């Protein structure tokens, strides 16, 4: 359905835009106001500064995806409806938060392998990382108002199509019944006409036979006057 595709695309675009905004804010903060690669590479300790910006953006992305897990449960209902209804989902979200903390805080694993600096970003970094989930929540839930309108319009369209289809079926049924009645009336009339015709034919035939018998009797009387008399030997 069109409104489903539109909702998915818009929600993905919102998440992307919010995380890019968070990353730009982090670059401005950690990289002394520089956002281009050439300008950042000229800075002292540019690798660590970029790592700080990436870490905040990564944390913000994971938190935003967790929030989107609640948002995407329904296209039109808000995320706080039956918020804790799915117990398995709560377990998955908790596991995701534990994995996030391990990825950014465990020494050697976070900085050497993943290139993340969860401790170095400080309180400011953790606070800014919350911009992502909060912004995603507000914007995606606001767009659900548009989705609700689209769903209502789609349901109204289905209702009108169903009513039109039902009306067409009733009209076709009425026409079919009228045709059957007309055909039945035509057959009865035809039978009556045939019966009357046959009766006329029978009457005419009987009249002809009587006429022939009468004609034969007169003929006998005229030709042979003694045909009806008893012959005396």
Average pLDDT over residues 6-28: 93
Q: Could you give the CA distance from residue 129 to residue 123 in angstroms, rounded to a whole number?
A: 10
Residue 84 pLDDT grade (very low, low, confident, very high; cuts 50, 70, 90) = confident
Highest mean pLDDT among 13-22, 68-77, 169-178 belongs to 13-22
Quick one: residue 81, left, alpha or beta (phi over 0 = left, psi -120 to 50 = alpha)? beta
pLDDT value of residue 43? 87
Q: Is 98 exposed, middle or buried (0-12, 13-18, 19+ CB in 10 A)?
A: exposed
Of the candidate ranges 22-36, 85-99, 188-202, the one whose mean pLDDT is the lowest:
188-202
pLDDT value of residue 83? 84
Highest mean pLDDT among 21-25, 158-162, 189-193 belongs to 21-25
pLDDT value of residue 186? 65
pLDDT value of residue 209? 46
Q: Output the six-digit token pair for 160.
A: 């009108």
pTM for this model (two decimals) = 0.67
pLDDT value of residue 210? 47
Contacts with 128 (C-beta within 8 Å, 6 or more apart), sequence order: 22, 25, 26, 29, 56, 60
DSSP assigned state of 110: I
Give the residue with greater pLDDT, 208 vs 161. 161
Asked if pLDDT for residue 197 goes beyond 60, the answer is no
Asked if pLDDT for residue 149 goes beyond 50, the answer is yes
Q: Is 136 exposed, middle or buried (0-12, 13-18, 19+ CB in 10 A)?
A: buried
Asked if pLDDT for residue 124 goes beyond 60, the answer is yes
Helices vs. strands in the chain: H and E counts, helices first: 6, 0
Asked if pLDDT for residue 158 goes beyond 90, the answer is no
């Amino acid at each position: 359905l069109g409104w489903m595709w539109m909702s998915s695309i818009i929600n993905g675009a919102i998440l992307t835009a919010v995380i890019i905004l968070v990353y730009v804010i982090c670059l401005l903060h950690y990289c002394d106001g520089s956002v281009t690669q050439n300008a950042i590479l000229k800075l002292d300790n540019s690798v660590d500064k970029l790592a700080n910006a990436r870490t905040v953006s990564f944390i913000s992305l994971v938190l935003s995806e967790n929030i989107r897990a609640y948002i995407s449960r329904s296209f039109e209902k808000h995320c706080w409806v039956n918020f804790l209804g799915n117990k398995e989902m709560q377990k998955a979200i908790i596991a995701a938060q534990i994995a996030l903390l391990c990825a950014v805080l465990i020494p050697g694993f976070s900085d050497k392998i993943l290139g993340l600096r969860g401790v170095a970003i400080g309180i400011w970094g953790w606070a800014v990382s919350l911009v992502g989930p909060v912004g995603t929540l507000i914007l995606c839930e606001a767009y659900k108002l548009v989705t609700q309108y689209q769903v209502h319009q789609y349901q109204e369209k289905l209702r009108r199509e169903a009513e039109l289809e039902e009306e067409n079926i009733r009209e076709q049924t009425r026409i079919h019944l009228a045709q059957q009645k007309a055909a039945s009336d035509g057959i009865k009339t035809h039978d009556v006409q045939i019966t009357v015709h046959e009766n006329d034919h029978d009457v005419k035939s009987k009249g002809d036979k009587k006429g022939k018998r009468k004609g034969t009797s007169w003929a006998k009387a005229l030709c042979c006057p003694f045909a009806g008399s008893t012959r005396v030997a």
